Structure 1
């Protein structure tokens, strides 16, 4: 990578942009990088990096290990704790559900695991008269419906073959599993540490389902993950949908 120490930042203050690039590199590199690795990742000259690292270390945003490698410092943990206290995930989640309903005119919900059950934590109803009857706060059996299967897949329980397929495609279309007259499309939502926070889902009468909505739901899950500080894991395989029926699964 070509060094860019003398290249001004395109936004804001160049020195701040460079310092933030160092923090981003440490976060992306699992928080443990040598000076050479930081130079390669950021494109900065080592002399520039050393000056930035001195300031970041003084602010305890970066720490230098005895072996000479750099890690994120304790101030990052303090900032993260403050972020969690002030940030309301529900607001972003409900907004994402409203966007799905506006795009499809079908019901959208967000499910999480709660002990032995899956909980409908948030729901926005379809404006249509014929729709599902799942309500916010309802506890459902685990592994039922697309959301339940997605949650099980990332908890590594339930049908392992289906779990592998879900983790590869990162979205699931299921018909007739929770209710013979309903279809459900669900995708995982990831947090800042790569954990699955829940599953966002469309719940649709079977005669109104569109397979193209698998893309819509997956994009909504990815966008919500980014808003919540996370992101979808990189996959080398196709992110196409998985279709299933109550009688079995078809790819």
Structure 2
């Protein structure tokens, strides 16, 4: 999950599927087939959706608890998912199979930007000492397409393929601001070309994110630096991170066939911007 390493786990929030409310959410997702989907597929996707990073395997009882589905229904769907390589049995329990990894690799390759973004991320992480990442939008989520973590004991740790709600975090603001239709609430982000986050997803982290563009100023994704709030959240550190990101995004944009001149105003503005403004430190 998105957080600091090492970290303390709050027992009250250790399992995001505790309680009737979360279970009902998955039932509602599966029932969306009435709106034009296929019920069996929606339920299968709901089952896959309850597996989280760091969990080696789940029991049938736990899957039933998290989804709210009958065990008989789950067993039928697990059988199909296992044949397709999406699920595998592990010591009487169930874990994610190899097929999602193959699809994830195809997903990454479909953007044709790995060779551009990965060197940029490595340089950003080396220069800043923080975690660098590149997000793309997937509906109402932001997905970690690529990431590089620094060799520090305390750092923000995320995994490629992880997804987070798009309405929280610096990268989410960028992906919303430069998506169509545009929102008036994100006019300032579009103007200056960066977004900040102070403890929005994790109270101990801070992040800065900027857009990367392709041809015709189409958004390619959000380039992000994130770190411990007490280290990265200081005004001078945020300014330095923002400058690094903007210049790196300009180079990446040029390499992808976009117009690097789009970043000139943002770079000039960042040099004089007060990153400690109270309005910037409030949670969005």
Q: Shorter-normalised TM-score: what interval?
A: 0.5 to 0.7
RMSD (Å) for aligned C-alpha atoms? 2.5
Answer yes or no: is 1:109 the counterpart of 2:154.
no
Answer yes or no: is 1:196 the counterpart of 2:219.
yes
Aligned partners of 1:170 and 1:188 also within 8 Å? yes
SS in 2 for 1:121: strand
Deviations 1:163-196 (A, max 9, x none): 1111111112221112111101100000012100
1:160 deviation in Å? 2.5
Aligned partners of 2:193 and 2:263 also within 8 Å? no
User: For residue 253 of structure 2, what is the aligned residue in structure 1?
Assistant: 225
Deviations 1:72-106 (A, max 9, x none): xxxxxxxxxxxxx9x94111101100010110111
SS in 2 for 1:239: helix
Q: Which has the larger radius of gyration?
A: 1
SS in 1 for 2:252: helix
Aligned partners of 2:169 and 2:196 also within 8 Å? no
Equivalent of 1:98 in 103, 108, 122: 122
Answer yes or no: is 1:184 the counterpart of 2:191.
no
User: For residue 245 of structure 1, what is the aligned residue in structure 2?
Assistant: 281
Deviations 1:128-171 (A, max 9, x none): 1111122110011012110010110111568633x111111111
CA distance in 2, matches of 1:159, 1:192: 22
Equivalent of 2:173 in 149, 153, 168: 149
Equivalent of 2:149 in 116, 122, 125: 125
CA distance in 2, matches of 1:157, 1:127: 40
SS in 2 for 1:200: strand
Paired residues, what number? 163
1:219 deviation in Å? 0.8
User: For residue 230 of structure 2, what is the aligned residue in structure 1?
Assistant: 207
Distance 1:227-1:176 versus aligned 2 partners, 3 A rule: same
TM-score by length of structure 1 reads 0.59
1:247 deviation in Å? 3.0
Mapping 1:13-52, distance limit 5 Å:
none
Give structure 1 stretches of 5+ with no counterpart.
1-84
TM-score by length of structure 2 reads 0.53
CA distance in 1, matches of 2:274, 2:216: 26
Of Structure 1 and Structure 2, the greater helix share is in 2
Distance 1:225-1:242 versus aligned 2 partners, 3 A rule: farther
Aligned partners of 2:250 and 2:263 also within 8 Å? no
SS in 1 for 2:155: coil
